[in-house]
A = this chain, B = another copy of it.
Amino acid sequence: MLRVGVCQLNLTVGDLDGNVERMLAALAEVSGRGGDVAVFPELAVCGYPPEDLLAKPRFAQDCQAALEKLAAAGDRCAAVVGLPSADADGTLYNAAAVCANGAVVGTARKAHLPNYGVFDEKRHFTAGAPEALFEIAGTAVGISICEDIWIDGGAVERLAAGGAELIVNLNASPYCVGKLDERLAVLRRRIDRIRRPVVYVNLVGGQDELVFDGRSLVLDAEGAVLAQAAAFAEEVLLVDVALEAAGPVPAAAPLARLWVNDPAAAGPQALPPPALPAPLHPLDEVYEALVAATRDYVTKNGFSDVCLGLSGGVDSSLVAVIAADALGPGRVHGVMMPSRFSSEHSLADAEALSESLGIEARRIGIEPAHRAFEEMLAPAFAGLPPGLAEENVQSRVRAVVLMALANKFDWLLLATGNKSEAAVGYSTLYGDSAGAFAPIADVWKTQVYALARRRNEAAGRPLIPQRVLEKAPSAELRPDQRDSDSLPPYETLDQIARALVEGDKTVAELIAAEADPDLVRRLGRLLDAAEYKRRQGPPRARVTSKAFGRDRRIPITNRYRGEARD
């Protein structure tokens, strides 16, 4: 039996000292409860992903110095700690250091480097290979990092074949819808082949566009879940892992073993297996991801308060609720900015929302600036019919107001746009798309409604006024405007745009699959034409398998329409 401390921590990129401090506290807890080993997430010392901080030759050295501080403060209890590790010649590895008794015993290197989706690990790291096992409290532990456990015939299988009795896997695995099931399937597929228990430790918390859900796992040699840590929250979870059920003796060449520590002199009483958390409803999972991403973006960037424009529509209403859940209503500042085209219900709904949430809401009508710009632009626009340019002015006036308040009071401005708008460019650059962070920009409009309804249900009262969920969406930039004047119904839009974006389908393929050819062509063109807007958009909390941003890197200058038929 090995007593493992699963240290699912919320670490911050670049905060080497702060991260080590947090890890030391967790290590002390694990040690104090009789743990043999505390396991931390991938690249725990520097946070994940450090991106081009790794390009600075001094960065890995600074991480090494931070690791040594951690190692020096440790006791018998081993610590498995992710960090970037440089060779004498500067070659960088994504590594896990094993520390015990005040020193670094050795390191393991990641063998399989993901370089797709949101990952760019081949940009910085060189692939390693399993070199040794670590003998922790008498158990031969194979240490692997993230992708290593996803690969058939890869590093984890080599560790098991080399004599590992238990596999430890350090992760920085970002959340997206359905990710937990995917992870469980991968772990079970690997366990099917290796018949060894697996300790899967994940990072938790937000980092720019990514949000890590935690939900670290311990599985036994049959693939049963022994323990699962919290979703979107830190947890230090102690688990006694039995080793008896391991499979047959390995056939391949045994790996060398490094001694780390001996079994504890007086073994403590066996721990009861930890209770497993109840599964999360898919909508709650997404919602918690948005809340965690927003909270961490705001607080890790040194802000306490946020502001946002409240239009009385469903997008800004949902963002207000997310912000209030993330930071507390006292730190959320709503701004209502009616224009000559705003309807009565817009103001009333925004006011009702701010009252039900208990957030501040102030009212700053935009008519003076709106009129001023009309005057200033009148000579240039003389004789031309009003159109998009005039509509955009109003949206940009609101951004100027919001940014002035943000600058003055040191608030962080939240953008309220959703993924459907972002997909087709139904937004004003430097207008409603302005903000430092976009909590729902990876949420399709139809799902915005679903999340709003679900949150109201959870509250047991209309936190978001019922009318907001029922009225026709409108940007209110001209009289009686409706989103449906310019766009198909959101059910249709979302279905097609999702296939184009998340499914990487071409227009020709969707037409071949019998979608409306004109509509698909139009949405495909809008999608491409809006790339320049998205490129200047704020970071978005990523909750799907393909968000605009790190996931989807499409050139702005791009004439590929995907319309060709065979």
A551 CB to closest chain B CB (Å) equals 8
A304 CB–B CB distance under 8 Å: no
B18 with A559: CB separation less than 8 A: yes
Does A297 count as interface, using CB distance less than 8 angstroms? yes
Distance in angstroms between the alpha carbons of A399 and B49 in the assembled complex: 34
Q: Give the residue among A18, A408, A562 with the most B Cβ atoms within 10 A.
A: A408
A405 touches B430 (CB 8 A): no
A299, B408: Cα distance in complex, Å: 40
Nearest-neighbour CB distance to chain B for A563, whole angstroms, equals 10
Residues of B within 8 A of A552 (CB): 52, 55
Contact of B62 with A564 in the complex, beta carbons under 8 Å: yes
Residue of B nearest to A560 (CB): B14
Q: Is A139 part of the binding interface, using a Cβ–Cβ cutoff of 8 Å?
A: no
Over the window 463-478 of chain A, the binary record of Cβ atoms lying under 8 Å from chain B Cβ atoms (1 yes, 0 no) is 0000000000000000
A341 at the interface (CB under 8 A from B): no
**Interface size, chain A (Cβ < 8 Å):** 91
Bitwise interface map of A from 50 to 71 toward B, beta carbon under 8 Å scored 1, else 0: 1111011111001001000000
Q: Which of B55, B56, B366, B389 contacts A408 (CB 8 A)?
A: B389
Known interface pairs A55-B504, A56-B562, A65-B564; A13-B393 also in contact (CB < 8 Å): no
Q: Shortest CB–CB separation between residue A67 and chain B, in angstroms?
A: 13
- Partner of A537 from the list B52, B396, B536 (CB cut-off 8 Å) is B536
Q: Which of chain A's residues 67-107 have a Cβ closer than 8 Å to chain B?
A: none
In the complex, the answer to whether A430 meets B436 with C-beta atoms within 8 Å is no
Residues of A within 8 A of B (CB): 12-16, 18, 46, 49-53, 55-59, 62, 65, 115-116, 120, 122-123, 206-208, 296-297, 300-301, 362, 364-366, 368-369, 371-373, 375-377, 379-381, 384, 387-390, 392-393, 396-397, 399-401, 403-405, 407-408, 429-430, 434, 436, 504-506, 508-509, 532, 535-539, 552-562, 564, 566
A–B pairs, 12, beta carbons within 8 Å: A18-B559, A50-B555, A56-B506, A58-B508, A62-B564, A301-B532, A365-B376, A368-B376, A369-B372, A389-B408, A393-B404, A396-B396
